[in-house]
Amino acid sequence: MKISCNILKKHIKNSDKIDFLNIWDKFTIRSAEVEGIEIKGQNFDNVVTAKIIECEKHPKSEKLSILKVDTGEEVLQIVCGAPNVRVGLIGALIKIGGHIDDITISKRPLVGIDSYGMMCSGKELGISDDHSGIIELPEDTPIGIDIKKILPIEDIIVEIDNKSLTHRPDLWGHYGIAREIAAITGTELLPLELADVNYDGKELNVTIENPDLCYRYTSLKIDNIKNSKTPLWMQIFLYYAGMKSINLTVDLTNYIMLELGQPMHAFDSRKVNNIEIGLAKAGDKYTTLDGIERTLTDHDLMIKNDSKYIAIAGIMGGLDSEIIDDTDSIILESACFEASTVRKTAISQGLRTEASTRYEKSLDPNLTIIASKRFLRLLKDENPDLTLGSALTDVYPNEFKEKEVILNKSLLYRYFDFELEDEAVKHILESLEFKVEIKKDYFKVIVPTFRATKDVTIAADLIEEIGRIYGYENFVPKPVKMDLNFVKQEPAYDEGYIVKNYLATKYNCHEVHTYLWNKTSFLKEINITKDNVKLLGKSEDNILRDDLNLSLLEVAFNNIKYYDEFNIMEIGTIIKDNENHKMLSILLCGPQKDLKNLYNKAKEMTVNILRNLKNKTPIFDFGSSETYYNQDLIQDIIVDNNIIGQIKTFNKNVNNKISKKHTFVVLEIDFEKYLNFDLDKTNYQEISKYPSTELDYTIIMKRGEYYDKLSKILDEFTSPIIINRKLVDIYLEEKTKKITIRYIVGSKEKTLTSEELQNFKDEFIKFLIKNELNIVKE
């Protein structure tokens, strides 16, 4: 949410004493996180108001005009291409020597005619996106004045993190932010200027069909409106706040929403007679202001006119009742809707708006009247001749009242570990508009309705309010005094920590945490289509992942611009066959020339994880997986005749979509199967003091045959001099694979003779022939 310091200053007494550029560090500590600060109005200088006194067409260009412009000090010749130039128009002129962005204005000829400055559009001044013509100032604007003294162009725009405001509905408007700033700085919040609504006529016909979903509905008919151009100060504010200026009426509803946090809507009164607020009928169609036809559900709350839909409550109005250029009479809506209902509809319709975002936070029902009177007050400034067409109609079935909370002093002092004076406590709470009575042992606190909807409900909430305004930095740190009791962790958590710690310390793996769903834009980027379980109500990023490796690949994609080599890991959940599975995934990234080294490193990691942490020895064999993997480089990880994971790489297309310079090897282990392994007892044997000999044999098998088959056959071959047997390598060919086996032979009693070694070789060759196994001859 973007906050204008110019608007804040209007609501704080003696605001000139506040350093609005540096107050936000304190605001972050005490109220909500500030994400960024932008200073507006510094991209230009030497811009003054100027009046066009002569205007004629350029003799050599149909698009250009030659102007005589009065700056108050002199008359300058300006060549301008704006279509709206005319005699009498007062605009903004950059004089020679002035600059805009990185451009310095100088005398220059345009199609043969010298120009001594430049008339500016709103976009060039940075106050709008409109560059269709030069900016038009009011007719009574004095000329020769610095434009920054005429318009509030200079401003400090503060962006506040929306997530830190979720529990604070009162901070979704400038007035609430001003209240916080006033409390933090010890200044005074000014009361809002509201209009008196004096009308003896009838009220509007308003019916709330579901009072549990619509807490309050305030409406007012206003006639004799001149839907004129929005004043420039308001247009600038809306632009700085990220909104587009439309017309005076619509802009004013948006301004009130940004100022007070109360969404409003204006209907063309010619199209509204009897207002009803109730649920939609499932399957009904409705076209919203954005021109999209929507299919409604039976949990969508709607605003209706004589049973015909005219708006989705709290979200967006409809095309059939929108304000248009000739609208001179409106019905103003200021309502309070139940938060979860608005949220459900916004999600199911895929329609999140500024209004729905605020309603989802549980707004104060008592704000509707204030907002209506504030709207009328500001509208009268631009339309002094307006009249009321109805009484202020306020349907409020169940009044929402202030809450009383008792705060025991002993509890407050126990939390703070020091005694704060009673008057100091009272002053802090009253600066936030709480009402406080000091009693002997407690404070009786009345919580205002704008803080009572879900924010402040118990004594601990009040303690937080006092602490944050007092300033957490003013607390003296002290050691915690408490009993420490051992809490046993879940075995899965403990073992997960052991594995991650092992990988981090031995292989420099960095742990990452990713979401349970795939990012739609990333899958499109790498041309992968997924059709797994979907999250309802989300139009994108809604497919629950069935492959943790893709989540790690996205992390790698975001990091290869900074690092050429890294290892990342995650123990995370995937959804496969509608069931949850816990997986350990490790991704190794390096230059493409290091593919073989990375692949072997992944195998080494697999062996060491299982041997060192579970005392298991894995074997590897040819496997298969999804088509986005390289089918020639997939190896199953087999333990106790069960496949527990795979080592693999991505196919060329996917790899090159991520990077043509890098390659990625992934190692995945079914962590639930890993947890089921009991730690085998280790049998230690004395190492022979005599040398051993390594003998390698490369055996040829069909490509589709598993190594497990060969391993079982080799288990039948015995010899007293065998110390160990292990798999060294598997080399895949088109129809066959070559498996290299290494025998380590020796004796604890002597050094083997050449005859004994030859006898072993001969016996092993006979064994292979007997079992119809072919070897690669040296």
**Residue 330 in domain:** yes
Query: Mean pLDDT by 10-residue block, N- to C-terminus, for the chain (778 residues)?
Result: 97 96 95 94 93 95 94 95 95 93 89 94 93 94 95 96 90 97 96 92 94 97 89 96 93 97 95 94 94 94 94 92 87 97 95 94 96 97 94 95 95 90 96 96 96 94 95 85 74 89 96 91 90 72 90 95 94 91 96 92 94 89 91 91 94 94 96 84 74 93 79 91 86 85 92 93 93 84
522 and 416, same structural domain? no
Supply the CATH number for residue 768's domain.
3.30.70.380
Supply the CATH number for residue 574's domain.
3.30.930.10
Query: Distance between CA atoms of 570 and 52, rounded to whole angstroms?
Result: 67
Give the CA distances from residue 768 to residues 709, 730, 763, 765, in Å, rounded to whole numbers and listed in that order. Answer: 14, 18, 9, 5
449 and 353, same structural domain? no
What type of residue sits at position 296? L
Q: What is the pLDDT of residue 680?
A: 56
Report the number of distinct structural domains present in the chain.
6
Q: Does residue 603 contact residue 647 with C-beta atoms inside 8 Å?
A: yes
Q: Which residue has the tokens 């899958």?
A: 523
111: CB partners within 8 A, 6+ apart? 58, 60, 61, 64, 79
**Residue 336 in domain:** yes
11 and 66, same structural domain? no
Q: What is the pLDDT of residue 379?
A: 96
Domain boundary among 350, 378, 395: 395
281 and 160, same structural domain? no
467 and 533, same structural domain? no
278 and 374, same structural domain? yes
Give the CA distances from residue 308 to residues 160, 204, 304, 320, 488, in Å, rounded to whole numbers and listed in that order. Answer: 39, 17, 5, 10, 61
Domain boundary among 395, 430, 458: 395
**Residue 307 in domain:** yes
25 and 53, same structural domain? no
**Residue 501 in domain:** yes
16 and 104, same structural domain? no
Q: What is the DSSP string of 344-357?
A: HHHHHHT---HHHH
**Residue 469 in domain:** yes
Supply the CATH number for residue 128's domain.
2.40.50.140
663 and 575, same structural domain? yes
Domain holding 721, by residue range, is: 693-775
Supply the CATH number for residue 317's domain.
3.50.40.10
627 and 740, same structural domain? no
pTM confidence score = 0.65
**Residue 124 in domain:** yes
Q: What is the pLDDT of residue 169?
A: 95
Q: What is the DSSP string of 476-540?
A: PP----------PPPHHHHHHHHHHHHHHHHH-EEE----SEE-HHHHHHTT------B-TT-SS
**Residue 483 in domain:** no
| Tokens describing residue 225 | 């409106």
Q: Does residue 126 contact residue 153 with C-beta atoms inside 8 Å?
A: yes
> What are the φ/ψ torsions at residue 274 (nearest 5 degrees)?
-120, 120
Supply the CATH number for residue 171's domain.
3.30.56
450 and 337, same structural domain? no
**Residue 482 in domain:** no
Give the CA distances from residue 711 to residues 620, 636, 733, in Å, rounded to whole numbers and listed in that order. Answer: 11, 15, 20
148 and 160, same structural domain? no
Which residue pairs, CB below 8 angstroms and at least 24 apart, start in 617-621?
618/644, 619/707, 619/708, 619/711, 619/727, 620/647, 620/707, 620/727, 620/730, 621/706, 621/707, 621/708, 621/730
